[in-house]
Amino acid sequence: MDAPLSTPAAEYAVQLRGAWLRLGREVILRGVDLDIAAGEGVTLLGENGAGKTTLLRLLASSLRLTRGEGRVHGYDLRDSRSVRDHVHLMPVEGGTYPDLTAAENLDFALQMHRLSGDTGAALRRVGLEKAAERRVRFLSAGMRKRLNLARLSLLARPLTLVDEPFANLDAAGRHLALEVLAEVTGRGQTLLLAAHEPDLAAQVTGRALHLSAGSLTDSP
Ligand SMILES: Nc1ncnc2c1ncn2[C@@H]1O[C@H](COP(=O)(O)OP(=O)(O)OP(=O)(O)O)[C@@H](O)[C@H]1O
Ligand SMILES: [Mg+2]
C-alpha cells in the first residue's frame, strides 16, 4: 500500500488508500489507491454497472467506505459537511427541484452555497433563456441537462464530479458541455467525469481511469 494520507490538503483533490466499498452484495472497490492532483481533469471509464456512479457518490460523501481511507482536498470523506462544501456532483439526471422553475433552481443552488451569480446569464449561456420561468418538470431531458450544466458552472466548486455529461444532449449540447467542462479545469478546479464517450471526454481531461471488477487502472 502507498504511504499514509499525510500530504498537504492543497496538493491533491482526491486521495484513496486501500479503499473498499460494498453495496449490498456488490463489491464496487477492492482496495483501491487513487491520487488526483488539484486542478487535474480525469475521465472515469467502465462498463455499465462497473461502479462509476457509485464512486462519484462516495467522493461526494453520499456513501461511506466499507474499509480504507479517503480524502477530498485534505478533508476526510467521513467529514461530510467539509467535503460537501468543496464538491459538486452533477448527476446523470435529476438533482433539481421539479416544481421550481429553471431560474428558481439556480437561485436556490446559489443560496445553499451562500454564493451570488448571474443566473440570467447562466441560463442564456446554455440556451435556456426562454425556459427560465418554466418548471423543471416541463423541461425535456436535454434541457434539464443544460440546466445542470448552468448550475455546475455557477457553483464552481474546487472539485466537480460529473456523471455522464454528454447523455441526452444534441450535437450543440455536447459542444456546450465540452465548453463548460473545459472551463472547470481552465479555472484551476478539479474535474472528474464518468462517461461512455472516451473520445469526447479526452477533449477536456488529460487522464483516463478504467474501473473494472473493483480495480481502478490508468488507461493508456
Ligand atoms: N443503492 C444501491 N444498492 C445496491 N447496489 C447498488 C446500488 N446502487 C448501485 N448498485 C449496484 O452497484 C453496481 C454499480 O452501479 P453504478 O451505478 O455505480 O454503475 P455505473 O458504472 O455507473 O454504470 P452505468 O455505466 O450503467 O451508469 C451495480 O451492480 C448496481 O446494481
Ligand atoms: Mg452510472
Return the pLDDT at 10. Answer: 64
pLDDT, tens digit, for every residue of 176-193?
999 999 999 999 999 999
Q: How many angstroms does the Cα of residue 146 sit away from the middle of ligand 2?
A: 18
Contacts by 165-174 with C-beta closer than 8 Å and gap 24+?
A: 165/90, 165/193, 165/195, 166/195, 166/197, 166/200, 166/201, 167/92, 167/93, 168/93, 168/141, 168/142, 168/144, 169/142, 169/145, 170/142, 172/127, 173/142, 173/145, 173/146, 174/200
Reported confidence tier of residue 1, pLDDT bands at 50, 70, 90: very low
Q: Is the pLDDT of residue 197 over 90?
A: yes
Residue of minimum CA distance from atom 26 in ligand 1: 48
What residue ranges define each of the domains in the chain, with the CATH number in brackets? 12-212 (3.40.50.300)
**Average of per-residue pLDDT across 120-145:** 96
User: Considering only 5-19, 147-161, 202-216, which range has the smallest mean pLDDT?
Assistant: 5-19
Atom of ligand 1 nearest to the CA of 194: 22
User: Higher confidence at residue 4 or residue 205?
Assistant: 205
